[in-house]
Amino acid sequence: MTSGPIFPEETASSPVVLGTDGLRTWHGSCHCGRVRFEVDTVLDRVAICNCSICSRRNAVMHRVSAERFRLIQGRGALTFYEFATHTAKHWFCGTCGIYTFHRPRVAPDCYTVNVFCLEGVDRDLVAGLEVQRFDGRSFPA
Ligand SMILES: [Zn+2]
């Protein structure tokens, strides 16, 4: 699994990407606004997981490859939580406490973001998306 630094430094925002396939840039933030990030993706599916941490934070998530994720602001505001195997880093804003994204243990080359941190995403939008159910309870964190 991944070792060493697995968290990107802040990078500049990229212009919105619009593709005919629905690819676009989604702007994400925590509640207080200290943490800002972007993902370039087709938001056609979300994932939910039954593991102990995802259940408690009621997380609805979307995974992207690392090159489609950019931390725009807030490296210093982010805090992480890890448990069990200490492989996954569960990042959250140390000020407002909102879970923003994590690097999944099962896919350390990816970022999994909290879809409700993305601008323009609400319960109605998510209700129309494919939901993938991940059985995280059966895997050690
Ligand atoms: Zn915050």
List, for residues 100-118, the tens digit of each pLDDT value: 998 877 777 899 999 999 9
Which tokens belong to 1? 């699994």
User: What does DSSP say about strands 78-81 and 36-41: parallel, antiparallel, or unpaired?
Assistant: unpaired
Quick check: 54 pLDDT over 70?
yes
Q: Which residue has the higher pLDDT, 69 or 87?
A: 69
d(CA 63, CA 65): 7
The model carries a pTM of: 0.86
CATH number of the structural domain spanning residue 53: 2.170.150.70
Domains: count for the chain: 1
Per-residue pLDDT for 126 more than 80? Answer: yes
Q: What is the mean pLDDT of the chain?
A: 86
pLDDT > 90: percent of the chain: 59
Is residue 71 included in any domain, yes or no?
Answer: yes
Please tell me the distance between residue 123's alpha carbon and the centre of ligand 1 in angstroms.
21
Return the higher-pLDDT residue of 36 and 85: 36
| Interval between CA 124 and ligand 1 midpoint (Å) | 24
CA angle 113, 138, 136 (to 5 degrees): 10
Looking at residue 3, its pLDDT comes to 41
For residue 114, the CA-to-ligand 1 centroid distance in Å is: 13
* 8 domain-assigned: no
* Residue 82 DSSP code: -
Whether residue 1 is contained in a domain is answered as no
Strand order of the sheet with strand 69-73? 24-29, 36-41, 69-73
Does 137 score more than 80 pLDDT? yes
Is residue 11, in this structure, part of any structural domain at all? no
pLDDT score, position 20: 66
Q: Is 94 contained in some domain?
A: yes
* Residue 10 located in a structural domain: no
Domain membership of residue 96 (yes or no) is yes
In angstroms, the CA 18 to CA 22 distance is: 7
83 found inside a domain: yes
Domain that holds residue 46: 24-136
User: 76 is written with which tokens?
Assistant: 């210093």
Q: Torsion over CA of 53, 54, 58 and 59, rounded to 10 degrees?
A: 130
pLDDT for the residue 69: 94
